[in-house]
Amino acid sequence: MRFGWLTLAHSGSPEGDYGAIHELVTQACFAETVGFDGLWLTEHNFTGESVYCDPIPFASVVAARTSRIRIGFAVIQLALRHPIRLATELALLDNLSGGRLDVGVGHGTNFNEYEFVGYGLRSDDSRDRMDETLDVMVRAWTEAPLVHDGKFYRLRLPALRPRPRQQPHPPIWRSASSAGSIREYGRLGAPILMARIPLARVPERLALYETGLDESGLDARRRHELREQAALWRFVHVAESQAQAEDELTTALLETRRHMVHAREANNPPDFYVEASRVNPWNDPRVSHEDGVRYSLKTSTLYGTPQRVAEQVAEVRDAGVRHVLCQISYGYLPHQTIVDSMRRFGELVLPRFR
């Protein structure tokens, strides 16, 4: 199995941002030390939901301080980015990291409309913007000269320099939530990042991905590689006792959810709404914070003693998952508590699944 370290660490106040950013750098580098295969950085803007906001410059610092671990994005919000600027920054980062980059992409958040508004946009056309940005970015890495006449951009450039270290370009991962998108990404031959879906739904989603891979035209070896890479996101917390793990994680998730829901209620424009099919008890503001956290602890979390977490990882493995993205870093847990949890996972859980 493969394990990634993922952070989505809120900062509760502007005064706390400096310290939180530097603690995250320490944690990200420690992920390499304790044996994680990759680290995955999120992107959110304006309210401290992801304290460093832009994962690309953050990743450049981590790249300079690590040597082995792959560096991924889960995900870059393509609808908010200029494709040539993004292609240039990522190509440079791939060179700086020695070819360790994994580029997870998405159109942007489904819930934080204020992030689009902050860039002078709305989310109505975010999928079209994402598709065009992704197309231009890949072509900028692989074509010279580049001529593009699209809905959002008209571009002429002789060549992009530097070229990415990985050829023809870094792996492009797709964030997959719906059943239809998972099958489509399999058909495209794209590695996938699955959200915190309940374990009972995982075999069905993986079967859909395999169906898409069978329709991709790829050879059997590549289809097998992609199937093994398919990643599932989980909250993770490892403590000395089951009670300690539950108490610490419950407190952190309650504060995280309060921050998240308040930011949306205070900043989203009044004409924005989220379709009922896109919410679950964790992110549905109509559900109490306590019930939302209980839902996550029950359906999408690996927590407890090292022995118990290992048993939960085995359940994920038995459901067909070979790649777990472990969100061990939370904005409302003390830094040392997070480091201790990472150490326990790296020393006492991870080696059982190598």
Q: Nearest to residue 93, comparing CAs of 56, 66, 141?
A: 56
Q: How many whole angstroms from its chain centre is CA 291?
A: 24
Which pLDDT belongs to residue 177?
79
How many structural domains compose the chain? Answer: 1
Q: How confident is the model at residue 127 (pLDDT cuts 50, 70, 90)?
A: very high
Mean pLDDT of the 174-178 span:
88
Q: Is residue 127 part of a domain?
A: yes
Burial 111-123 (b: 16+ CB within 10 A, else e): bbbbbbbeeebeb
Q: Is residue 48 part of a domain?
A: yes
Which pLDDT belongs to residue 128?
97
Q: How confident is the model at residue 62 (pLDDT cuts 50, 70, 90)?
A: very high
Q: Is residue 297 part of a domain?
A: no
Q: Is residue 56 part of a domain?
A: yes
Write out the E strands in the chain: 2-7, 38-41, 70-73, 76-77, 101-106, 146-149, 154-157, 172-176, 192-194, 231-238, 301-304, 323-329
Residue 244, C-beta contacts closer than 8 angstroms, at least 6 positions apart: none
Condensed to tens digits (0 to 9), the pLDDT of residues 93-125 reads 999 999 999 999 999 888 999 999 999 999 999
Q: Is residue 336 part of a domain?
A: yes
Query: Which one-letter DSSP state was computed for residue 164?
Result: P
Mean pLDDT of the 323-352 span:
97
Which pLDDT belongs to residue 276?
84
Q: Nearest to residue 320, comparing CAs of 228, 234, 209, 233?
A: 228
The CATH number for 27's domain is 3.20.20.30
Burial, 65: exposed, middle or buried (Cβ in 10 Å; 0-12, 13-18, 19+)?
Answer: exposed
In contact, 107 and 121? CB cutoff 8 Å: no
Q: Is residue 318 part of a domain?
A: yes
**Range of the structural domain that residue 118 is part of:** 2-274+302-353
Q: Is residue 15 part of a domain?
A: yes
Which pLDDT belongs to residue 61?
98
Residue type for 161, please?
Answer: R
Condensed to tens digits (0 to 9), the pLDDT of residues 259-287 reads 999 999 999 999 999 988 889 999 999 99
Examine the pLDDT at 158 and tell me if it is beyond 90: yes
Q: Is residue 90 part of a domain?
A: yes
Whole-angstrom Cα distance, residue 244 to residue 127? 42
Q: What percent of the chain stands above pLDDT 90? A: 96
Examine the pLDDT at 306 and tell me if it is beyond 90: yes
Burial 182-198 (b: 16+ CB within 10 A, else e): bbbbbbeebbbbbebbe
Which pLDDT belongs to residue 179?
84
Whole-angstrom Cα distance, residue 291 to residue 300? 14
Alpha carbons within 13 A on the beta-carbon side of 88: 9
Residue 330, C-beta contacts closer than 8 angstroms, at least 6 positions apart: 8, 9, 10, 249, 252, 253, 256, 338
Task: Please tell me the pTM assigned to this model.
Answer: 0.96
Q: What is the mean pLDDT of the chain?
A: 97
Which pLDDT belongs to residue 180?
87
Mean pLDDT of the 4-12 span:
94
CA angle 313, 319, 323 (to 5 degrees): 55
